[in-house]
Homo-oligomer: A and B are copies of this chain.
Amino acid sequence: MRLLLKGWYPMPALEFIRSRLDPEWEIRLCDREQVPASLEESEVFARELGEAHSFVSMSWSAAMPGAPELLLLQLPGAGVNQIDFDAVPPQCSVCNVFEHEIGIAEYLVLAILEWEIGLRHMDASLREGVWSDGFALGRPLHGELHGKSVGFIGYGRISRETARRLRPFGVRLRACTRSPEKGDEFVDVIADMDGLDAMLADCDYVVVACPLTDETRGLVDADALARLQPSAVIVNVARGEIIDEQALYEACHRRQIGGAVIDTWYRYPTAGDPDTERCLPSRYPFQSLDNVIMTPHASGWSGGLLERRWRVMIDNFNRLSRGEPLLNVVHAPG
């Protein structure tokens, strides 16, 4: 059976993949030197995809070449928003992987604690010999997470792993989700999406951690932001488009809310030279705001992620060749 890999992503893991794949698998590579920027226009790619039984990609469109043998479109990440399911060949399953919930949960606890405590500012001051945040001089105290409240929009793996870690800090935890029956011992209050307005008004931190769908695109708009407390912080580790770009900028800039922690954005760099290309992540100047923590879609991009993901994907390829049930099926054949 033939496994088709493309781009830079699988390269560092190639030996790891080879050593764990069952022997009936053959790996085929389409790297950037072989194919033009647009895969859809590449003859090499069309030939390889035509023979592949499994293909690793975050995207699929109606413009893809024919894939009569394809049985498994394996996403190397979680988000299915670049998959046109109607265009997937009828015999093909689509599966995704997670494993980023550990890294994202760590990022979220870090970002919330940093918002309260301000290590960054203290470090910069003390390097100049300024002790104004220290105990000795009777200055204002930094914040405490203890006693605060955190609400999650969406209560999937990311929110659950975050709630598990936040629990011992003595915070109140609530969530709104399409599936409120998924509540657990970590979250105090869980409601369906009709409870969103009440949750927004109640929380010190609101974490956006739901999939981007037609229902969630623009879900956090100017009206939703207006419901937040004046000191509340909105945190986005899902997809930029779930929060209205202009409304978010205005709410931060006008200090209508406490601020924002933003990891997922509105503009991304193209596949140009990463050493020289610069790309501000929004058409609004978030970089000029001091009540924003901004990171480059890196929250889940942590040390153990890729190995964990490849282990799941390799398991899936071997399950396919052994005729066993696949993991994380988001779209079944037919």
Residues of A in contact with B (beta carbons under 8 Å apart):
8-9, 102-103, 106-107, 109-111, 113-114, 116-117, 119-120, 122-123, 125-139, 141-147, 164-165, 167-170, 268-269, 274-275, 277-281, 287, 293-298, 300-306
Q: Are B147 and A301 in contact (CB under 8 A)?
A: no
With the chains together, A277 CA to B109 CA distance in Å? 34
Q: Which 8 A-B residue pairs are closest in the complex by CB-CB distance?
A: A134-B296, A129-B278, A110-B113, A127-B287, A137-B274, A131-B296, A144-B303, A144-B302
Residue of B nearest to A300 (CB): B135
Contacts of A114 in B (CB 8 A): 110, 114, 119
Q: In the complex, A123 Cα to B118 Cα: how many Å?
A: 13
Tell me how many chains of this kind the complex includes: 2
Min CB gap A281→B, angstroms: 6
Q: In the complex, what residues of B have CB within 8 A of residue A136's CB?
A: 268-269, 296-297
Q: How far does the Cβ of A130 sit from chain B's closest Cβ, in whole Å? A: 6
Determine if B170 and A168 form an interchain contact, defined as CB atoms under 8 angstroms apart: no
Asked if B168 contacts A129 (CB within 8 A), the reply is no
Chain B nearest CB from A75 CB (Å) reads 14
Q: With the chains together, A324 CA to B284 CA distance in Å?
A: 63
A125 CB contacts on chain B under 8 angstroms: 296
Query: Does A142 lie within 8 Å of B296, measured CB to CB?
Result: no
Determine whether the beta carbon of B274 is less than 8 Å from that of A126: no
In the complex, how many angstroms separate the beta carbon of A97 from the nearest chain B beta carbon?
14
List chain B residues, Cβ under 8 A from A110.
Answer: 110, 113-114, 117, 119
Select one of B102, B107, B122 contacting A170, CB under 8 A: B102
Q: Is the CB of B278 within 8 A of A130?
A: yes
Contact call A301/B268, Cβ cutoff below 8 A: no
Q: Is the CB of B297 within 8 A of A135?
A: yes
Docked complex Cα distance between A9 and B137 (Å): 9
Q: Which residues on the B side are within 8 Å of A170 (C-beta)?
A: 102
Determine whether the beta carbon of A106 is less than 8 Å from that of B146.
yes
What are 29 A-B pairs with beta-carbon distances under 8 A? A9-B138, A103-B146, A106-B117, A106-B146, A110-B110, A110-B113, A110-B117, A117-B302, A123-B295, A126-B296, A127-B287, A127-B294, A129-B280, A130-B278, A130-B296, A131-B268, A132-B274, A132-B296, A133-B298, A133-B301, A134-B295, A136-B269, A137-B269, A137-B274, A141-B303, A142-B298, A146-B302, A165-B165, A165-B169
| A131 pairs with B304, CB closer than 8 A | no
How far is the CB of A265 from the nearest CB of chain B, in Å?
9
A296 touches B117 (CB 8 A): no
Which residues from chain B contact A142 at a C-beta distance below 8 Å? 103, 298, 301-303
Q: Give complex CA distance A294, B302 in Å.
A: 24
Q: In the complex, which residues of chain B have a beta carbon less than 8 angstroms from the beta carbon of A134? A: 269, 295-298, 301
Residues of chain B within 8 A (CB-CB) of A169 are: 106, 165
Which chain B residues lie closer than 8 Å to A126 at the CB level? 281, 287, 294-296
Known: A129-B280, A130-B278, A274-B137. A119 touches B111 (CB 8 A): yes
Nearest Cβ distance between residue A162 and chain B, in whole angstroms? Answer: 10
